[in-house]
Every structure is written in structure tokens, then in C-alpha cells.
Amino acid sequence: MKLSSRITNITGGGSDGWGVHYRALALRAAGKPVTVLSMGEHDTRTDLSILTSMDASAKGGNTGYSPVVGFESLRRAVAERIERHTGVPTGPENVIIVPGGQAALFASHHAVCDPGDTALFIDPYYATYPGTIRAVGALPRAVMAHADNDFQPLRADLEAAAKGAKSLLINSPNNPTGAVYSEQTMHDIADVCQGNDLWLISDEVYDTQVWEGTHISPRALPGMAKRTLIVNSMSKSHAMTGSRVGWVCGPADVIDAIHNLATHNTYGVAGFVQDAALFALGQGVAAEDAVAAPFRRRRQIVMDALAGQNAVRAAPIRGAMYAMLDVRTTGMTGDGFANALLDAELIGVMPGESFGEGGAGHIRVAMTVADDVLADALRRIASFAATQMP
């Protein structure tokens, strides 16, 4: 019996990019003292008050089917948060609750792309982006963002790729590069989308982690609310990665269509998880700042640890929980460097090539370990790189 080509081609016939990470985890499981810097997950767990709220909701009986579109109370709270951030009038009719950001990406592409349509994304990219596009039957097309332009996509490259495309997926603040798209970049993106009749899917899961510049949601730009879908979740802003609760925000008719998809797919998010998300959002900006604070601090730790040497250079870390490190002085690929580093130093990082051609010659470090562990690992990475320079 043969499986469908759609499911067997999700990774495009190549690697899923996680080989070094899985090898690092296997070495750790075998008892080796591996420092794992390859996973974008907080080293602190979900706040106890949020879990207490979840527990009370579940014990109170909220364990049955929930509305597929999500509880109106949570949708309203999400809408209010988005309206505060963007200034665009937003109501619960503009929001659907889904099982995390990945489900939101999948649903958004399903909503706007037919099989065979071309869907654009920025390279370097989060590892699942092209696979998500293939999974809905669309054809992924990368738009390069280059290290020498601080990983900001150029208008000319966007225009060249946009011909005949149906959608564009962006991510700012960006995983893996740490880029925060400038006002000029975001206006260029909006102009290209309007000029080429593209849907814009904006992955904003790191919107609470901005260290330099300003997070600009394209939904706030003139003429963009009608063609923009915002993807977000509680995972990064509230350290609720395992709870799997996110949302899509967009025009009401698109949300209705995604509601229909969810009825035939995920069939909603557990009610007690939604109640916990509502409680978490109710804690306000202070709670979000507290979750983000370690990464703001560790950004400086990375820069301090790499100061005074020339083997490794960090791309500007303007947002998110990652440092993109340029190791091209060694003459090695990111993949070759990451594997050699793991063998020599027992430090697991993600090769830049895991995130596309734009990441070649780089490695991504997740700032998700204790401060002293991170500082030590960065110094060892720089020392190792120096020994590999020709």
C-alpha cells in the first residue's frame, strides 16, 4: 500500500533539519554531560498560578468538548490584546483559538492557498515553514534575507518572488536570526503584498521579546487588515509551550472558514487549557515581561562572552530567544561546525542550514539555559571556532 505523496513529501524529500539536536539528546540520554542549546523552549516552566487556574477549571468539570472556535471570553481577551498592540478594531469574530502556533500556521495556509499555489516564506526560516506549506498542497518558494543586511528581506527580492504567488509568510521578531523587521522593511512587505494581491501570514509568537527596535504588526499598516492573518500563541509569551493554545486573527470571513476546517480537524482546544490562557492573559504586561526578562539579560551575556575575539560573530540580536552566530571564518558549514562542536565540546546547537540557505555558515544558539551555563558554552564555542580557523 502506498502513502499519499502529500504526506511523504512534507520535508521535500530531504532532512527535517533536526539531526544534530536529536544526536545531542541521544548523547545526553546515554549519560554524557551535553549542553543543549538547540531547543527554543524556556528553561523555566509555566507559572504555578496558571497551572493552578488550569487545575481548578479541570476539577470544576471543564473537561468536555469546548466550542470549536474557542470560548468567546478567551477570543475577546485575545482580540483586546491585538487591538491594544495594533490600534485596529478587533473583536472575537476576528479570532479563532487553535492548538498552538503550528496549528495556526497550518490553518492559515489552508485558508488562503489552493493545491498548486505558490506560497512565499523568508529564508532563514523556522524549520517547519516549508513543510507546513507542502502539507496543504501548496508550493513553497523562499525569499532570501541575507546576513549582510541583518537578515532583513529586501523589497527587490520580495517583488521578484511575488509574481504569481498567493501568500507570504513572515516572522518578526525572527526565529532563527533574532531580526526585528524595521519600519521600512514592514512597509516594503505591505506594498509588495498589496501590489501583487498576496495574503500575508504574520507569525508573531515572539512579539513580547523585542530588545531593540519596535515590533510592528502588519495588520496595523494602511490597507493590510483585510489581507493579513496574525498567528500567535501562549507558548513564548507565557511559557505555555506544552499547553498548545494559540490563535489566528484575521477578517471574520476567513475566521469562519478556519472554523469549518477546525471542525473537521482539531475540533477545538481543551476548555481547562483555554481557561488557563484567559487567566494568564489577565495578568497583563507585567507577566509577559517577567517571562521575557531572562532572554533580555542573556542577550547581553552572549555579546559579552563573544567580545574580544574574531572567530565567531553574532548577528544583531534584536528580538526572540536566539543568537545566530556566524562561523564562516572556520571555513566550515554550519552543519559541519555543529557536528564537530558536539563531538569535541558536547554542546548541541542547530546548524544554520537547518533554517535554509540564508543560514549557511551559521549556527543558532537558543538562550534557554542558566546564565552561567550559557556564558561558559559561548566561550567554549568561540575557543573551538578559533582552533578551526585556517
pLDDT tens for each residue of 330-346:
999 999 999 999 999 99
Cα-Cα-Cα-Cα dihedral of 310, 311, 315, 321, to 10°?
-120
Q: Which is nearest to 247 in space by CA: 8, 123, 74, 84? A: 74
User: Is 175 inside a domain boundary?
Assistant: yes
The burial of 84, by beta-carbon neighbours within 10 Å (0-12 exposed, 13-18 middle, 19 or more buried), is given as: exposed
**Residue in the block written with cell 489552493:** 114
Q: Are residues 274 and 311 in the same domain?
A: no
State the average pLDDT over residues 80-97.
96
Considering the domain architecture, whether residues 85 and 198 belong to the same structural domain is answered as yes
Q: Which of 283, 307, 336 is the last residue of a domain?
A: 283
pLDDT digits (tens, 9 = 90+) for 142-157: 999 999 999 999 999 9
Cell numbers linked to 144: 532570501
CB-count exposure of residue 336 (10 Å: 0-12, 13-18, 19+)? middle
- Banded pLDDT at 13 (limits 50, 70, 90): low
Q: What is the pLDDT of residue 6?
A: 87
Q: Please, which residues bridge with residue 118 across strands?
A: 139, 165
Q: Which of 7-11, 187-191, 316-320 shows the lowest mean pLDDT across its residues?
A: 7-11
pTM: 0.96
The residue from 283, 316, 350 where one domain ends is 283
Question: Is 235 part of any domain?
Answer: yes
In a domain, 54, yes or no: no
CATH number of 100's domain: 3.40.640.10
Task: Categorize the per-residue pLDDT at 15 as very low, low, confident or very high, splitting at 50, 70 and 90.
Answer: low
In a domain, 23, yes or no: yes
Q: Which of these three, 283, 314, 332, is where a domain ends?
A: 283
Asked whether residue 61 is domain-assigned, the answer is: no
Domain total in the chain: 2
Residue 17 confidence (pLDDT) above 80: no
Asked whether the beta carbons of 120 and 141 are under 8 A apart, the reply is yes
Could you tell me if 80 and 201 lie in one domain?
A: yes
Query: Which residue(s) pair with 203 in the sheet?
Result: 171, 231
pLDDT tens for 278-328 read 999 999 999 999 999 999 999 999 999 999 999 999 999 999 999 999 999
Do 275 and 255 belong together in one domain? yes
Looking at the predicted structure, is the pLDDT value of residue 16 above 70?
Answer: no
Domain shared by 104 and 224, yes or no:
yes
Domain with 17 in it: 5-45+286-388
Distance (Å, whole) CA 387 – CA 51:
47
Residue 58 in domain: no
Give the N- to C-terminal CA distance of the chain in Å, as an integer: 52
